[in-house]
Amino acid sequence: KIEVADVTGGKSEENCPGALVFTLHDQEVRLDVIDDAEANDFFLIFKDSTSGKDTYGGGRFLHVPRPNDLGEVQIDFNRAYNPPCALTSFATCPRTPAENRLPVPVLAGERQYRGASDFHRAMHHPAIPAKPEAARLAVSLHGLPVEPDCRDHDRPSALRRQ
């Protein structure tokens, strides 16, 4: 389980079947996943070093497929999107768990809206990648194995991608 707080101060315990551990910008990083049984995939809430600057300060959301037959997960940061709180103050959104705050930039996915024209573009073209280099990011992260434990961050693992 992983505890996820929301912007109102409420908290929920979500099912966390594991974590994705991979190297990004020469740093090993880790993202704990939430099991989304309704969508039959994994759900990520994450922040990175672009949060609050180029991307929404509260973090972004991303759905990734469940592991394939080899136990690997494909992650495509081009599909990262802003939560509803980026668009309206009337939404209640989860806060990014401390475990999912990356010290490196994720230069892919939706960016921060800067005004009405950005909002209009996002509503009509939500899948447009943020920058051309975003496509390279997705290719470099294919086939990530899932670590079985969400809480024990110091445990050595043979499942880490080098």
Give me 98's structure tokens. Answer: 């401390």
With CA atoms as reference, report the closest residue to 141 among 65, 73, 46, 79: 73
Match 């759900």 to its residue by tokens. Answer: 43
Environment class of residue 137 by beta-carbon count within 10 Å: exposed (0-12), middle (13-18) or buried (19+)?
A: buried
pTM confidence score: 0.73
pLDDT at 133: 40
Name the more confident of 71 and 106. Answer: 106
**106-158 per-position pLDDT tens digit:** 988 888 876 544 555 555 555 444 443 443 343 233 344 555 556 544 433 32
Res 8: pLDDT = 85
CA 111/CA 34 separation, integer angstroms: 23
Alpha helices of the chain — where are they, by DSSP H?
Answer: 116-124, 134-140
